[in-house]
Amino acid sequence: MISQYKSVVEKQPYLSESNNFESILSNEKKEFLEKNGYVIIEDAAPTNLCNSSVDAICEFLDISRIEPSSWYKERPLNSIGLVPLHQHPAFWDIRQHPKIYNTFRHLLDEDELWVTMDRASFRPPCRYDLEAYGNDENPMHWDYDFRLRNKNLYQGLIYLTDTHQNQGAFACVPSVYKKIRDGKFEHANALEKFGSKGLFLRDVMEFTEKDIITIDAPAGSLIIWDARLPHGCVSNHYHMPRFVQFITMFRADDIDSIPTEVEQSRDERIDCFMKMRAPECHRNLNGQLDPEPYNRAKLSSLGEKLLGVKRW
């Protein structure tokens, strides 16, 4: 399975766009994120790059984007649709896109960033006649123990196709985020149950569907959320699959800004990239190919810095 994919990104004029990042993540959007725990940035990733990432996922999973009979295998790789693919050049073309960088740059108020070499998600519509595909909900949870952190931590994903509210959309509980942010969370004691794999909201408090917001947005939208926001995704009851690429950025070489669970040294990052391997924290998933059998991405000057191979 050698990809025919050719990287489309040439050297990026990201510095000349640097004065313009206000238009990508406006101050209103930054305030919305602070107020609600999440924000949607439309048009962050161009449609052609999103389509290339969808193609990469389809090739990896051996499915067709439009042919429902190809979406359901005897057994899915896992129950929540994670696609263990990381170094595909299509993923890198989104990671090194100047708009995405400038969004995080404005958000974190920092020029020197590293990007995560994160995976993707494919979730076809639920099929109740197939036990393995009857429910693909990812229940509300936190991934990182935010009590251990003294800096804001943001997570993110990109909708690679238009995503309807019922289409396995990203979902979250802003009311809980607001209480945590304000130091008014009544169930703080129950957070003692936090483990290295995160914590489900249902193990901390009771809540109902009405507390959950589901986010529909067009292809190319970047959704960023604060790690204090309980989040997950609803089951896909639409007629089309959901395709997502996960992505976030951290301050380069700043251990405090990176959760220990996903922390990597500069050398480890470069090694993963050069050897086409998943970051260690994402290894050994069902269906993983190690190394990933694709051509290595062609990095722009920005991409080289976001990886760490070139110093900022």
Ligand X SMILES: O=C(O)CCC(=O)C(=O)O
**What is the distance between the alpha carbons of residues 174 and 176, in angstroms, rounded to a whole number?**
5
Smallest Cα–Cα separation from 281: which of 150, 93, 116?
A: 116
Task: CB nearer to Fe ion: give 17 or 143.
Answer: 143
* Residue 261 beta carbon to Fe ion: minimum distance, rounded to whole angstroms: 12
Smallest Cα–Cα separation from 176: which of 234, 226, 230, 139?
A: 230
Interface residue with ligand X among 106, 228, 231, 269 (CB under 6 A) is 231
* Residue 40 beta carbon to ligand X: minimum distance, rounded to whole angstroms: 13
* Residue 28 beta carbon to Fe ion: minimum distance, rounded to whole angstroms: 26
Which of 94-102, 109-117, 225-233, 286-294 is the region at the interface with ligand X (rule: CB under 6 A)? 225-233
Q: Tell me which residues touch Fe ion (CB under 5 A).
A: 143
Q: Which residues contact 15 (CB under 8 A, 6 or more apart)?
A: none
Using Cβ positions, the residue closest to ligand X within the complex turns out to be 233
Structure tokens that stand for 287 in this block:
């269906």
Q: Total number of residues binding ligand X (CB under 6 A)?
A: 11
* Residue 171 beta carbon to ligand X: minimum distance, rounded to whole angstroms: 7
89 phi/psi in degrees, rounded to 5: -55, -30
Cβ neighbour number for residue 58 with a 10 Å cutoff: 20
Query: Is 137 among the residues that bind ligand X (CB under 6 A)?
Result: no
Interface residue with ligand X among 36, 53, 155, 167 (CB under 6 A) is 155
CB 66 within 8 A of CB 241: no
**What is the distance between the alpha carbons of residues 189 and 191, in angstroms, rounded to a whole number?**
5
- Residues lying near ligand X in the complex (CB under 6 A) are found at 121, 138, 143, 155, 157, 170, 231-233, 244, 246
